[in-house]
Structure 1
């Protein structure tokens, strides 16, 4: 089954929106945003650090809604459905 992936534009921007929300928004820590969106702490953390900068459409929508921004302010469709955002390079001896 194909799941659309959305790539985060900028991890530091996500962090800034969590710490300095738009009017009417709530300040969030990684844990509070995870709890509010139903995502795991590690998922939010990996988005911020850009270790795994992709999310499903539903995840991207929940994050954007909670931060009171449009999805396209944070995410854009990933260029490849198989692109998972891993930044580690695979070598014959394992990941680097």
Structure 2
């Protein structure tokens, strides 16, 4: 058994995540997300999906990126799909 590096749970079904030369041990995806996910530069939410990256900064969605002044023409996500299909 391995101990989760976030919550300290000693769990028989823990798992390892290998990232950027380091090995991390977690007992749940929740703990892995908490420890490894980037944080949205605009609203502060943990980004557990694709998100948006602009100029080396991470955002949870295009709306938040635009809120920080990122040029809308450079951002595409599902929120824009309907609008683009009509254009």
Q: Same-fold call, TM > 0.5? A: no
Taking structure 2 as the reference length, what is the TM-score of the superposition?
A: 0.31
Which structure: larger Rg?
Answer: 2
Larger relative helix fraction: 1
TM-score (norm 1): 0.29
Q: Looking at both structures, which has the greater relative contact order when contacts are Cα pairs under 8 Å and sequence separation is at least 6?
A: 1
